[in-house]
Chains A and B, each alone.
Chain A
Amino acid sequence: MTRAHRRWHWYAWLVLAPLIAAGMFAALAGRGVPPVQPAPASADARARE
């Protein structure tokens, strides 16, 4: 590869690496608490019987 290409690769990953890391962190942190699964309607009906 030419020197220009080597540089390009280097700077591309220097930018991409923190972006990917921050993106993953934000996405995982932003998930919050899992929503409570609503009970199936049939279970409701059975409970009322």
Chain B
Amino acid sequence: MSAGYVAVQWNPYKRRYDAFVCGAVVLYLGMFGFVGKLLFRGEHALSDEVLALRALGSCAFLMLSVVLCIGPAARLDRRLLPILYNRRHLGVATFLVAALHGALALGYYHGFGRINPLLSLLTTNTSFTSLRAFPFQLPGAAALLILFLMAATSHDFWNRNLSARLWKWLHMLVYPAYGLVVMHVALGALQAQRTWWLAALVCACAATVTTLHLVAGSRERAADRGRTSMIEADATAWLEVGRVDEIPPDRARIACAPGGERIAVFRYDGRISAISNVCAHQGGPLGEGKVVDGCVTCPWHGWQYRPADGQAPPPFTERVATFRVRVDGRRVLVDPNALPPGTPVEPAFVEESCDA
């Protein structure tokens, strides 16, 4: 949440996360170099530069695959949410490793000629119609450009100043970037190196990333299509959310409005309040979060909102839409027409003793 900007809002969890990522990258590169030297000996020996190039490239590919798996995996299993919390740092680290790989490739294969290395990269090989001699570096370079744009705008400062919409759009480019990286490897390394395990590894990563997205996505679609029952009363079509006891204390039940937008209906302190399910930060599912210290806390990066008015506690200024609620017997009803973000709404009061 932002009342002002700092480079990184460090906390012990982020430090441990980053230390783990750095350690894992260094360990991977070291192991790759060591095993590479052991496996490729004599006339098959690889130069240090090629070994480093392969280590960095494969490390970036694995990291990008992991980054892309975190989102859908955390949707399928909530226990993985802590990995999502600091995913941004993992994304920036992926860019750094990929950039080292790209820079080394540029210097090693294009740096010793008379023309500018970048010009050489773009113009030397134009066999675009050949599968085996395709200039596979170009999709790699395009992916690197996208990763750069994402890393450069990853800070909340840009999220706010580019507008959440444009920012999200820019960051969705990571999907085409992944496609480009798969192309880079399939047309490059897989053509040159015949080892079955490299092909198997690339296929396994691509299949995992794709399957997780398709499974999580189809679940979301099923939820969007979920049937809602409406009750007409006092000229409002109220949406039936469920029974009071079906909402665990300090948690929410997510209702799906007829247009497909979701509403998070929270129960806390003997009250019921409803706010938009979409966090103002990056659209995290507020209804999957908890009420902590009287505030709804987003499960993705911890932004907070007061349930009764959808406003972040001072000094923060973020707001989300609120909804009118009422309790009929033990049934919870919500008016699916969103009120402007930050509008205070009287909570519905419930007897906490009934659901023991």
Give A contacts to B, CB under 8 Å. 1-3, 5-6, 8-10, 12-14, 16-17, 19-21, 23-24, 26-28, 30-32, 34, 40
Contacts and interface: CB of A to CB of B under 8 A. Distances in A.
Contact of A23 (B175, B183, B218): B183
A17 B214 contact: yes
B175 A13 contact: yes
Closest 10 CB pairs of A and B: A27-B186, A3-B260, A30-B131, A1-B283, A10-B217, A13-B213, A17-B210, A34-B194, A6-B220, A12-B175
Nearest to A43: B43
Contacts of A5: 168, 283
Contacts of B175: 12-13, 16
B241 interface: no
B283 A27 contact: no
B224 A6 contact: yes
Interface residues of B, number: 36
B182 A24 contact: yes
B179 interface: yes
Contacts of A23: 179, 182-183, 186
Chain A contact surface mostly: helix
Contacts, number: 78
A21 to B, nearest CB: 8
B4 interface: no
Contacts of B206: 20-21, 24
Interface in B269-284: 278, 283-284
Contacts of A3: 224, 259-262
B199 interface: yes
B162 interface: no
A20 B191 contact: no
Contacts of A30: 131-132
B285 interface: yes
Interface string B76-92: 00000000000000000
A3 B168 CA distance: 14
A14 B214 CA distance: 7
B183 to A, nearest CB: 6
A6 B259 CA distance: 13
Contacts of B39: none
Interface string B185-224: 0110011001000010011001000100110011011001
Nearest to B260: A3
Given A10-B218, A14-B214, 11 more contacts: A3-B261, A8-B172, A13-B217, A19-B179, A20-B206, A21-B206, A23-B182, A23-B186, A27-B191, A28-B190, A40-B43
Contact of A20 (B132, B182, B194, B199): B182
B230 to A, nearest CB: 18
A5 B190 CA distance: 34
Interface string B128-150: 00011000000000000000000
A10 to B, nearest CB: 4
Interface string B168-181: 10001001101100
23 contacts: A1-B285, A2-B283, A3-B261, A6-B220, A6-B221, A9-B172, A9-B220, A12-B172, A12-B175, A16-B176, A16-B178, A16-B210, A17-B210, A17-B213, A20-B179, A20-B206, A21-B206, A24-B206, A27-B131, A30-B131, A31-B194, A32-B132, A34-B194
